Amino acid sequence: MYKIIGADNAQYGPVSAEQIRAWIEQGRVNGQTRAQTEGSAEWKTLAELSEFSGLFPKGGGAPPVLPAVPLTEGKTSALAIGSLVLGVMGFFTMGLTALVGLVLGIAALVRINRSKGALRGNGLAIAGTVVSGVMVLILPLMAAMLLPALARAKGRAQSINCMNNMKQLALGGMMYATDNKDRFPQAENWCDVLGKYLGSPQVCVCPVGDPARRCHYGFNASLSGIETKNVTSPAETVLFFEIEGGWNQSGGRDLILARPRHGSTVGVAFADGHVEMVAVKRLTKVKWEP
């Protein structure tokens, strides 16, 4: 490492031999520039130091001139650092921060070039610009990949919500039967009489059903008022099922949704209390008669 006396008689350093060689190439120092080797108290010209003497013409060169910019190392551009950080963060923010990183990277390159050495970090600025630019370019691709996944996740959540509603309906039907001589409710007013067993009217509402309808589930009219013991195969017999909507609606297969709300499946609660999302082609195989 070395210390340098500039043409302004100010002392600079410590600086490396590589930096001094760069300054020699840039014309910022010459053979007459005084330097002190680390650990030595003696000042010599650069032309007198063996490691630099071969870089100057014989005779020592012209007198030193005042450097156009300070000899000290410039500080690293904060914009360059910010550009790289925001570019990398783009991997975790769907490229949103990369948009800012790209702008900062370009601004950093311009400022560094204009600073004439007062700012450094050109490599950081280039890296930040490239990383941010790549993230901006692949943003549409990432969105195209992520949006369907989000839609599927949302659909699964809505399907689970609907199944939970139907489980509460089935439980409500069984609680009603326990309180009414083990008989299921009457078809014409099942929504009304199950209200106190459901806790909330939202249980009757499918998350993707028509919001103008109070209830999106129907009651199997074949079980209207019958005793639970008379249902021979409760695990296969429909109790509640998804419909377009309507309060106290009941019926059979003809009332099932024409267009399933959850992919190609329809929610069905069976007389034993369990709930399934049944594929449309399987609906003809479930039991409707007790």
pLDDT (tens digit per residue) in 268-287: 999 999 999 999 888 878 99
Low-confidence ranges of the chain (pLDDT < 70): 58-74, 116-117
pLDDT at 93: 79
pLDDT tens column, 220-271: 999 999 999 999 999 999 999 999 999 999 999 889 888 899 988 999 999 9
Are both 230 and 180 inside the same structural domain?
A: yes
**Residue 68 within a domain:** no
Structure tokens at 81: 């650092």
83, 113, 145 — which closes off a domain?
145
**Residue 61 within a domain:** no
**Residue 121 within a domain:** yes
**Residue 288 within a domain:** no
Q: Cβ distance 29 to 40 under 8 Å?
A: no
**Residue 265 within a domain:** yes
Are both 223 and 175 inside the same structural domain?
A: yes
pLDDT at 98: 86
**Residue 240 within a domain:** yes
Q: How many structural domains comprise the chain?
A: 3
pLDDT at 174: 94
Instruction: Please name which of 30, 5, 25, 27 lies closest in space to residue 15, comparing C-alpha atoms.
Output: 5
Are both 161 and 82 inside the same structural domain?
A: no
Q: Cβ distance 278 to 285 under 8 Å?
A: no
Are both 161 and 245 inside the same structural domain?
A: yes
Structure tokens at 37: 């080797």
pLDDT at 60: 46
Are both 28 and 122 inside the same structural domain?
A: no
pLDDT at 256: 87
pLDDT at 64: 47
Domain that holds residue 18: 2-53
